[in-house]
Amino acid sequence: MPPSKALPVFDLSMNRRVLFQNAGLGIATIALNSLLQDNLAGGSPSVSQHKQMPHFQPTAKSVIFLFMSGGPGHTDTWDPKPQLSKMDDQYVPASIVANVPNIPRSGVNSKLMASPFRFKPYGQSGIEVSELLPHTAQHVDDICVFRSLNHRIPVHGPGECITLTGSGLGDRPSMGAWVTYGLGSPAQNLPGFVMLSSNENGPAAQRPGWASGFLPARYQGTVLDARQGIPFSEMPQLYSERDRRQQLEFIHWMNEQHLTQQAQNSELQARIESYELGFRMQMEAPDVLDLSTESAETQKAYGIHEKATSAFGRQCLLARRLVEQGVRFIQLRNGGWDAHGSLKSNHIARCRATDQPVAALLADLKRKGMLDETLVVWGGEFGRTPTTEGTRKGDSRGRDHSPAGYTMWMAGGGIRGGQVIGATDELGFVPVDRPLSPHDLHATILHTLGIDQHQLIYPHNNRQEIPTVLGGEVVQEALKSG
């Protein structure tokens, strides 16, 4: 039975303490009812009002999106270009400009820049990976490398938006919001969609990347700090659980009064639900966020106690723990990849910070038997050009943004690893084989979760909106079942 709508009668002459003591239903009853409804609906309390189920048998239950903000250089990490090394410091030949369609004209008058890093083959698949990523390279047989991603947005903010939402305008739901709208989440005391923040330098995080857009506000991501946990969630000193229940009951009652005057106000409804979820999170989240319960071996594998790897290592380990609790979509953000100058030192530092933790995450998921049901995605909003930027010399040289061609990868969750899909031209400007868009990437992510992009619909402004805007192509050859 849902909670009674009968409202408590308050004597306004009472003092604050008596007021809270006499408040009516109790937040615990509300939370309990929400959990019971969740068990019946098969979704999380925050999404139980929408009927969630996969359209077909999924191969993944959760997604961990490792977002490298700023744009990792694809020719320096996952897309080796021997010809680029041969032509270092030369201008782009007219023959290549003529024979390779769609080369950005902004780069053809610049000098080419060889990667300062060596590549070598790894695993049984023999996929070549940069020396920057020796740890992740050990897992290349579980990784499907997409070397032909492209779009037309060369600016960080809109580029981040198209990568995480499908539109550069920042007006659409994030992929995590679509997933929780479509499937809900088994996590009862944690959000279904979590964004783990980072304090790295670089372009500012774009809120649309974890926002709900035109979907109801309850589907937006919850921002957590991997070191500090949930902002403003600690119980004040001398404040008991009973005190918190009484306080939240009164807040809930007032919000309900306001809601009766605000028809279809999703933000207010989300606020009410967030208080209920927040109360449960205060009880459960501290245990999930306490990484000290992990073995010393596990903490060492993620680099928790090393300065270079501590921040992202904590994020990756926490992501695994959140997946264990049933969180549906987890987005990790590592910034600072925007190497317009000093690309060599920049990418050394960024890969030192992320390579070991990412490899530990893949190994840990596999060891626990969770990789087959967890889709891991790695990449940024674009890559970096094969040309050098400006007139810098030596190790101070950098690269500009390259949305015209770049690399991302997937692992786990039904993905067939040990393969490369697509290719850029011999210098790394644009795709010449199997060009893929962010919408294709999104369609493939949704497919692993059992979601048909054309059947997940939300009516908005007289349109039947789907997650991939105008549609994307599922990359079937990336799937084990493809």
CATH code where residue 358 lies: 3.40.720
Asked if residue 5 has pLDDT above 50, the reply is no
Enumerate residues 6+ apart whose C-beta is below 8 A from 106.
400
Residue 123 scores a pLDDT above 50: yes
The predicted-structure confidence for 50-106, as pLDDT tens digits, reads as follows 567 899 999 999 999 999 999 999 999 999 999 999 999 999 988 888 888 888 876
* Mean pLDDT calculated for residue range 222-240: 70
Q: Give per-residue pLDDT as tens, 130-151.
A: 999 999 999 999 999 999 999 9
Task: Give the distance, in angstroms, between the CA of residue 428 and the centroid of all CA atoms in the same chain.
Answer: 26
Of 169-173, 199-203, 279-283, 359-363, the range with the lowest mean pLDDT is 279-283
> Is position 246 within any domain?
no
Helices (H) and strands (E) in the chain, counts: 13, 16
Residue with the bigger pLDDT between 422 and 189: it is: 422
| 351-385 per-position pLDDT tens digit | 999 999 999 999 999 999 999 999 999 999 999 99
4-13, 52-61, 153-162, 276-285, range with the lowest pLDDT? 4-13
Integer Cα distance of 349 and 366 in angstroms? 27
The model's pTM is 0.84
Q: What is the pLDDT of residue 22?
A: 42
Residue at token pair 């790897």: 309
Residue 145 pairs in a beta bridge with: 409, 420
pLDDT at position 217: 86
Residue 69 domain flag: yes
Domain count, the chain: 1
- Report, as an integer, the average pLDDT of 108-129: 95
Is residue 446, in this structure, part of any structural domain at all? Answer: yes
The answer to the question of residue 92 being in a domain is yes
Determine, yes or no, domain membership for 364. yes
Residues 196 and 226 sit within 8 Å (Cβ to Cβ):
yes
17-61 confidence digits (pLDDT tens): 443 444 433 433 334 344 434 443 333 333 334 567 899 999 999
Q: In the chain, pLDDT over 70 holds for what percent of residues?
A: 78
In a domain, 417, yes or no: yes
pLDDT score for 16? 44
Domain carrying residue 52: 46-227+258-478
| Average pLDDT of the residues in 263-273 | 59
Q: CA-CA distance, 356 to 301, in Å (whole number)? A: 7
Residues facing 66 on adjacent strands: 332, 378
Maximum mean pLDDT: which of 48-57, 237-246, 446-455? 446-455
Phi-psi region for residue 433, left (φ > 0), alpha (ψ -120 to 50) or beta?
beta
- Asked if 179 and 433 touch (Cβ cutoff 8 Å), the reply is no
Higher pLDDT, 164 or 389: 164
DSSP-derived 3-state class of residue 428: coil
Please tell me which residue, 196 or 97, carries the higher pLDDT value: 196
Segment 312-324, tens digit of pLDDT = 999 999 999 999 9
* 18-55 as b/e: b if 16+ CB within 10 A: ebbeebbbbbeebbebbbeebeebebbbbbbebebeeb
* Contact of 440 with 166, CB cutoff 8 Å: no
Instruction: Confirm if 60 and 371 have CB atoms less than 8 A apart.
Output: no
Residue 251 lies in a domain: no
Question: Predicted confidence band at 120 (pLDDT cuts at 50, 70, 90)?
Answer: very high
d(CA 211, CA 285): 21
Whether 328 is in a domain gets the answer yes
Nearest Cα neighbor of 24 from 6, 2, 42 is 6
Average per-residue pLDDT in the chain? 85
